[in-house]
Amino acid sequence: MSDRAKIFGDIRRALGVTGNEDARRRAVAARFAATPEGVVPARGQTADPAALFRAEAERVFATVEHVTTAAEIPARIADFLRARNLPPRLRKGEDLYLAALPWTAATLTLDAGPAQADDVVSLSHAFAAIAETGTLALVSGRDNPTTLNFLPETHIVIIEAGRIVGNYEAFWEMLRAAYGEGAMPRTVNFITGPSRSADIEQTLLLGAHGPRTLHIIIVDAPS
C-alpha cells in the first residue's frame, strides 16, 4: 500500500465512511455545480483585453508587436532576430498552428522537440493570455514542450488576439471547455515578462531563472 492510500484509509476510518456513499457523492457533485463565482478586479473586466495585455506585458519588460495575419509571423521573427544580432535558428515543438506557417519565405532554420542546452531562441504558441497582468498561459505537451519556456535566453511566443481574455477566471473557463470534464493538461505555465529576480540587494536581474528576453507576437486575425 502506498503512503497516499494509507493516509486516505486513515481519514476514512476516522470519519467512519468508505468513500462510496451515495449521499456524500451527491453532496460533492452539488457543491461543484453551485460553486460561486469569485470577485473579478475591475481591470480584469476590460472591454479591450488585447490592448491591456500589451500594456501590462510591456510594463514587465516584454516586447510586443502585432501582425494582421499569421502568414506574417516568419518574416517578423526573422526581422526581430536580425535586429538583435541573434542566430536565425529556432527551436519549437510540434504545434500544428506553427507548423502551418510559411517558413520557407524566411531564412530561418527550425529545430523540433524539447529545448536543448545550446539553444539560443525558442518559439511557442500560447494557449491563451490574461490581460489584467500581461500574462501568457502555456500548456505542456509535445506541441509546446515546457523546456522551451525556460532554457533558451530568448523566447518568442505567438498568441491570437481572440484568445486574450480579461482575467484568470475567464482563462480557467476556456481551459476547462477545451479539455472537457475530468481532463486537464499536465502543466499550465504562467509567464509574465522575461525571467527576473531582485533577491540580491534589491537589484533587478533579467534572465535569472529563464529567458532574458520575451518577445510576444499578437495575431489580430482569427485562427
User: CATH number, domain at 79?
Assistant: 3.40.50.10420
Report whether pLDDT(222) > 80.
Answer: no
Confidence of residue 29 (pLDDT cuts 50, 70, 90): confident
Lowest average pLDDT, out of 30-34, 49-53, 108-112, 116-120, goes to 30-34
Q: Is position 110 within any domain?
A: yes
Report whether pLDDT(201) > 80.
Answer: no
Higher per-residue pLDDT: 175 or 42: 175
Please compute the mean of the pLDDT values over residues 157-161 and round it to a whole number.
Answer: 98
For residues 111 and 77, membership in a common domain is answered with yes
pLDDT tens digits, residue range 60-108?
999 999 999 999 999 999 999 999 999 999 999 999 999 999 999 899 9
pLDDT on residue 173: 93
For residues 211 and 120, membership in a common domain is answered with yes
Q: Is position 157 within any domain?
A: yes
Residue holding cell 497516499?
Answer: 4
For residues 87 and 119, membership in a common domain is answered with yes
Question: 49 vs 57, 157, 162, 165, CA distance in Å?
Answer: 12, 17, 9, 6
For residues 79 and 160, membership in a common domain is answered with yes
For residues 91 and 157, membership in a common domain is answered with yes
Confidence of residue 32 (pLDDT cuts 50, 70, 90): confident
Q: Is position 115 within any domain?
A: yes
For residues 151 and 200, membership in a common domain is answered with yes
Structurally, the chain folds into a number of domains equal to 2
Give this prediction's pTM.
Answer: 0.84
Highest mean pLDDT among 32-36, 39-43, 81-85, 193-197 belongs to 81-85
pLDDT on residue 208: 59
Confidence of residue 9 (pLDDT cuts 50, 70, 90): confident
Q: Is position 180 within any domain?
A: yes
The alpha-carbon radius of gyration of the chain (Å, integer) is 21
pLDDT on residue 181: 80
Higher per-residue pLDDT: 4 or 137: 137
For residues 58 and 27, membership in a common domain is answered with no
Q: Is position 40 within any domain?
A: no
Query: In DSSP terms, which residues pair with 23 in a beta bridge?
Result: none
Q: Is position 206 within any domain?
A: yes
Q: Is position 158 within any domain?
A: yes
The domain in which residue 29 lies consists of 1-35
